[in-house]
Amino acid sequence: MPKIEIRPAISTDIPELVQINHHGQTDYVWQMNRVVNEGEITIQFREVRLPRSVQVEYPYPASALLANWKDRAGLLVACLEGRQVGYIGLSDDHHPSTAWVTDLVVAPEFRRQGIATALLLAAQNWGIQRRLREMQLGVQSKNYPAIRLAVKLGFDFCGYNDHYYSSQDIALFFTRFL
């Protein structure tokens, strides 16, 4: 398998990165169940297999990358044989001492080849170099592949927000100490 190169993005990368298909597909979701009793609220998430695959729309317009890529503290690009096949956007002003993953995108034809893992590991090194203490990411409850990746890489579930995305999908938050 060819070697994945991870490097900081440059301005000429952005138009190609915007063209990557940001959407995904899944057969599973994390379903939320909320029970409210007097003096107690119980929130439970469980993995549910869907009767058929569903399209997972990316929660932000790809064109937003074109407009605000310079506002990110970090933007790393994954290249395979000279072609940009994915990227990870990072912020370091969301929470104190925390690297926040703003975007994680891999072109569909290159998924399940370790590219997202390489991007997240490079982002962790980016955070360590800046003396940040933890990394957080938010994913849609429908984005099962991203949830599995976060868990595989040692991220712990740390919360949710059911009004985070304009699509009304629940945001699940994961964190990992660096």
Answer whether residue 96 shows pLDDT above 90: no
Q: Checking phi first, is residue 82 left (phi over 0); if not, alpha (psi -120 to 50) or beta? A: left
Residues 43/34, Cβ–Cβ less than 8 Å: yes
Across 87-104, average pLDDT: 92
According to DSSP, the β-strands at 40-56 and 134-140 are unpaired
Answer whether residue 36 shows pLDDT above 60: yes
Q: List, in sequence order, the alpha helices (H) in the chain.
A: 14-19, 63-68, 115-129, 144-152
Confidence of residue 62 (pLDDT cuts 50, 70, 90): confident
CATH number of residue 136's parent domain: 3.40.630.30
Answer whether residue 175 shows pLDDT above 60: yes
Average pLDDT, the chain: 93
Across 70-83, average pLDDT: 92
Domain count, the chain: 1
Q: What is the per-residue pLDDT across 130-145, written as a single tens digit (0 to 9) for each?
A: 999 999 999 999 999 9
Answer whether residue 1 shows pLDDT above 70: no
What is the structure's pLDDT at 142?
94
- Report the alpha-carbon distance of residue 177 to residue 85 in Å, rounded: 27
Q: What is the per-residue pLDDT across 4-26, written as a single tens digit (0 to 9) for each?
A: 999 999 999 999 999 999 999 99
Confidence of residue 2 (pLDDT cuts 50, 70, 90): low
Q: Residue 37: which domain range? A: 4-177
pLDDT above 90: percentage of residues in the chain:
83
**pTM > 0.75: yes or no:** yes
